[in-house]
Structure 1
């Protein structure tokens, strides 16, 4: 196996028996039958309405042994050769990510897809918004496949196009009398929309139409600087925690970061709050990262004096403030790589990535802050059965689970995504 972003250790680290959902121990084929986002989903997940349940994995693939599924995946990869590229997110399960040609965070994978123009098909082992992004950035003749269409994102569902449009209209009305210029006399916007990568193609298109941009956790600081060069304020959605943590690190006080509520008149804000706002936050969150607490950090330090703590910036602000460092999945990987043998590192991010790092660095003690194991439940929906089924389809000339963004949406979204790709992370 060869990967371009990270070398994946084939060893499987056994997870503690305690999980946030007993269904995690069941066969993966049952996931399509579970209401909601599947095993591991937090009670805080916001359900889409109506709940959409894609088709179940064909019974023949449910009955196959693990050995047969893996043999089919290997055979299909060999047959398809350079016509296929498989992308795997850091949070993907080991038995799937081992087949990825590129492994990384959302920023890295968005770039990685562009490096294989000869590939006819991009198979994205991630979640729906990632596959949408790949389709938008791919060449017209390339196809993008999401092995399991049920692999969505609860955070992405927390900001829908209608609600964002409603909030935008209210903001434009609130700031209608402003006429702002920069030091050179050039007009600047009252508000610049910034959407996190964890959002639908429609919201990325919204940002493209309104002079905005997409960000990832890797380049959020660069993106906010870009936005403030062009506007007085930022509307940041859907993740409140990434927006708050990034803006706070840039020196913006909390009183200038109010949370909007699109369901309330005036977005639930007073005229004074609207006037002094610099970053308008959307009330979204990641169910996995919301679980991390300061108490967990305190316990890690009590149990392991001198341990280092790093968390993802989707974690709540008090957790980020209490940690030794915070950063994207790639930054977490680099943090561990820069550590020394014997170091003890507590990590606040998704368990599959933590376990993979622990296997990759056996001379260090690496563990997840949250003692209750909660994987990204939507990433967890992609397993070898779905990967084998979609790859077999390609060998047979059938494209299964293709993700297609309509041309109009893709055109606007691509504007915002290309701005994102140009906004390099600080440590790049």
Structure 2
């Protein structure tokens, strides 16, 4: 099976030749270009953006990191040449460097990864390589921050393309969350109830900045992943009367609903509105206050797509990520993290048809890994994560060869004070057991 990048190149070429969309198509022909074209466009415009793909319509904050220009030798190199240069640099560096590849990365990058997994799996994988002087994180910015928090001070965490951010993570910034917290304290006060539960506990999804993890650590809160969100919410309810959950509304809603929290007890907090767009009583009656954030990849999946999959493939197993909207999760056969999806497919004993609601690169890779099954993405349009797609073998070759030359580029560092509070929130998550 060809890679997602190869499919996009072919579709774009066919569209150019025929003047019409190929079957299924891609959400943006610009995906066929090198990410360095987006870097240059942002530099010329003076305005950051997430680039083509699922998050292309999401406004990027002015503070969004931007990548400088990649040297021409990497832009002009063929895939084969880049591969040889990456392999040679890896061989030279040996145990001094470890490459981490997220499930959503393009195959052309994943093939060089020493570890493949979700964000927290990869951060922990890096801990198994204490001899590594450099951790090259082929993922997005918040993941590299988490790796820096958990790694040793002597280790350098490198993000091959600084523009690989996350629109969902950017939907909750530290100033907005602080302002929200102050308004909630005015309404709820700060005194615990008779059972010792404080008025509100902050819970941040792993897909958030180090500053927000630190906020949770400082205010008695905790971090969650998509695989342990239920356990973390149960932990929070034992200690708080209600939860402020950010930045992903869908993971918060789906998890709380599964715990029996009614929808009318889950008001949405829109940071652009007074009291988040709520009246005071709705907040007083709440159990979970959901931040107005979402993943643009998982927002693309719909009930209509599930209905079509069931019509086209009777008996199909539909598995979606819990970042999908509630109605999509309800219509699916099961929902879970990227690791859950991978394990569910691996556990299937006989040939099975799976329709998967998560990022296309992972779905495509699962289809190639398990050819005995029929595996396809619910969304027929090839539309990868915009920011994951900013990582390209050219950037990987560049950062590796710079390391060989004794130079560390694109290092991601988290302030010491932020690290301490963020680590507290992460340690609470690790200590929370089902």
User: Structure 2 length normalisation: TM-score?
Assistant: 0.92
Q: Is the CA contact (8 Å cut-off) linking 1:46 and 1:158 kept in structure 2?
A: no
Q: CA deviation at 1:308?
A: 0.5
Which residue among 56, 59, 69 is the counterpart of 1:56? Answer: 69
| Structure 2 counterpart of 1:254 | 263
Equivalent residues, number:
412
Q: 1:155 aligns with which of 153, 168, 181?
A: 168
1:378 to 376, 387, 397: 387
- Alignment counterpart, residue 388 of structure 1, candidates 397, 412, 417: 397
Instruction: Choose the corresponding residue for 1:24, options 27, 31, 40.
Output: 31
Q: Is 1:304–2:317 an aligned residue pair? A: no
Distance 1:150 1:269, change over 3 A: same
* Structure 1 position 266, deviation (Å): 2.6
Match of 1:206 in 2: 215
Structure 2 stretches of 5 or more lacking a match?
Answer: 12-24, 43-48
Which of 246, 254, 264 is matched with 1:245 structurally? 254
The answer on 1:215 being equivalent to 2:224 is: yes
1:351 aligns with 2:360: yes
2:341 matched residue in structure 1 = 332
Q: 1:113 maps to what in 2?
A: 126
In structure 1, the partner of 2:45 is none
Q: Structure 1 residue 106: deviation in Å?
A: 1.6
Gap runs ≥5 in structure 1? 1-9
| Per-residue Cα deviation, 1:340-379 (whole angstroms, up to 9, x for no partner) | 3421100000000000000001111100000111111101
4+ residue runs over 4 A deviation? none
Conserved? CA contact 1:340–1:364, under 8 Å: no
Bigger helix fraction: 2
Does the residue aligned with 2:241 lie in a helix, a strand or coil? strand
TM-score, reference length from structure 1: 0.93
- Tell me, in whole angstroms, the C-alpha distance in 2 between the residues paired with 1:51 and 1:330: 29
Task: Map Cα deviations across residues 87-124 of structure 1 (whole Å, 9 max, x no partner).
Answer: 11100111111111111112211221222111111110
Alpha carbons of structure 1 residues 76 and 40: separation in structure 2 relative to 1, 3 Å = same
Equivalent residue number for residue 295 of structure 1: 304
Alignment CA distance shift 1:360-1:396 (3 Å):
same
Match of 1:234 in 2: 243
Indicate the RMSD between aligned Cα atoms, in angstroms. 1.6
For 2:150 and 2:96, locate their aligned partners in 1 and report how far apart those are by CA, in whole Å. 17
Contact 1:207 1:413 in 2 (8 A): yes
Q: How far apart are 1:338 and its partner, in Å?
A: 1.3
Structure 1 Cα separation of the partners of residues 229 and 163 of structure 2:
28
For the Cα contact (< 8 Å) 2:65–2:165, is it kept in 1? Answer: no
Which of residues 72, 75, 95 is equivalent to 2:85? Answer: 72
Q: Which residue of 1 aligns with 2:20?
A: none
